[in-house]
Amino acid sequence: MIAVSTNLKLVKEFGIDPNNAFAFWDWVGGRYSVCSAVGVLPLSLQYGFPIVQKFLEGASSIDNHVHTSSFEKNIPVLLGLLSVWNVSFLGYPARAILPYCQALEKLAPHIQQLSMESNGKGVSIDGVRLPFEAGEIDFGEPGTNGQHSFYQLIHQGRVIPCDFIGVIKSQQPVYLKGETVSNHDELMSNFFAQPDALAYGKTPEQLHSEKVPENLIPHKTFQGNRPSLSFLLSSLSAYEIGQLLSIYEHRIAVQGFIWGINSFDQWGVELGKSLASTVRKQLHASRMEGKPVEGFNPSSASLLTRFLAVKPSTPYDTTVLPKV
């Protein structure tokens, strides 16, 4: 039995040999912990430490880049400045993360937590209400999934800055003789086309020259001048993934420094957890002792009463485990 913990004393009291425990610092937030023991241990068990070592080296290379590069050539600093400009000056509250690689399908949700739990603040580190908007609404989907999901809004609705992420070397190359391009070149055709479509759009004059019917011209016009940036990775090795993650982590920290907020606390998570504890006590009292719902606002009280009126699927007088 092994453990990963910030408290080796409690590990010993729990009954695990401290020699079998991996410690990490208690100030490492969960969203930043992948490079600590709590992230590296399970990754090493899954992929082997040599691969995880490459991941750590990739992250470290960006750490060193941030520390040693001038601001003019510092990738996370430049990205952080662009984000602050888009959010606080231009008033664009969201950002789409669009990896043209299925293996990165969980990148957007990870950055969503990393960014929104870090910089979702309305008060400065000094406790003063911010006189401007901070934080970003992050979302995304891989490749052409997103194109048929929310790109309509990005092209002709709200202005949403986009991060496009492409890979030169495919992990799963497929080519059928006689086809125009391989599967990866087909995918990357979209990667290269979408930023141009956002930047340049399509004017009514172009549509007139293409003999588009007059009644359709307003619908087929693209405003253009919509911001995006593109990452082009040489491959999707563990090293490049470490670099990519570190770029986003430092970018978020830079945003927090400029906004004057603390990107490393998360008080906004606490209130809901505290209220959930109150609800938990009410559910126990109602289930076990038949007590009525009390002390909640009318809406919550009504919902709780409705919830409790239905017989639970798990009886409270015996242990219930999933059926295998």
Instruction: For residue 220, give the DSSP letter.
Output: H
Q: Predicted confidence band at 186 (pLDDT cuts at 50, 70, 90)?
A: very high
How many C-beta neighbours within 10 Å does residue 5 have? 19
In this prediction, residues 32-43 reach a mean pLDDT of: 93
Helix (H, G, I), strand (E, B) or coil at 223: coil
Q: What is the largest CA-CA distance in the chain?
A: 79
User: Which entry of 148, 177, 219, 311 is annotated as an active-site residue?
Assistant: 148
Q: Which residue has the higher pLDDT, 29 or 75?
A: 75
77-81: long-range pairs with CB below 8 Å, 24+: 77/250, 77/254, 79/229, 79/247, 79/251, 79/254, 80/250, 80/251, 80/252, 80/253, 80/254, 80/255, 80/257, 80/258, 81/254, 81/258
Q: Point out the least confidently predicted range of 172-176, 199-203, 254-258.
A: 172-176
Q: Which CATH architecture has domain 51-170+228-265?
A: 3-Layer(aba) Sandwich (3.40)
- Do 198 and 226 meet the contact criterion of CB atoms below 8 Å apart? yes
Beta-carbon count within 10 A of 174 CB: 10
Structure tokens at 284: 């126990």
Answer yes or no: 281 catalytic: no
In this predicted model, what pLDDT tens digit does every residue of 266-323 receive, in sequence order? 888 888 888 999 999 999 999 988 899 999 999 999 999 999 998 888 888 888 888 8
148 has catalytic annotation: yes
Active-site residue (options: 67, 177, 211, 273): 273
Q: CA 87 to CA 122: how far, in whole Å?
A: 13
Q: Are 256 and 262 in contact (CB under 8 A)?
A: yes
* Helix, strand, coil distribution of the chain in percent, nearest 5: 55, 10, 35
Q: What percent of the chain has pLDDT over 90?
A: 83
Which of 117, 136, 141, 249 is catalytic? The answer is: 117
- Reference 204, options 218, 215, 190, 224; nearest CA is 218
- Residue pair 229/163 in contact by the 8 Å Cβ criterion: yes
Residues 160, 166, 171, 176, CA torsion sign: positive
At 99 the pLDDT is 96
Task: Report pLDDT for 268.
Answer: 85
Q: What pLDDT was estimated at residue 315?
A: 80
117 catalytic? Reply is yes
pLDDT tens for 125-144 read 999 999 999 999 999 999 88
Closest CA to 16 of 8, 26, 24: 8
- Please tell me the pTM assigned to this model: 0.90
Domain residue spans in the chain? 1-47, 51-170+228-265, 269-308
Over range 238-259, report the average pLDDT.
97
Average pLDDT of the chain to the nearest whole number: 93
Residue 96 has pLDDT above 90, yes or no: yes
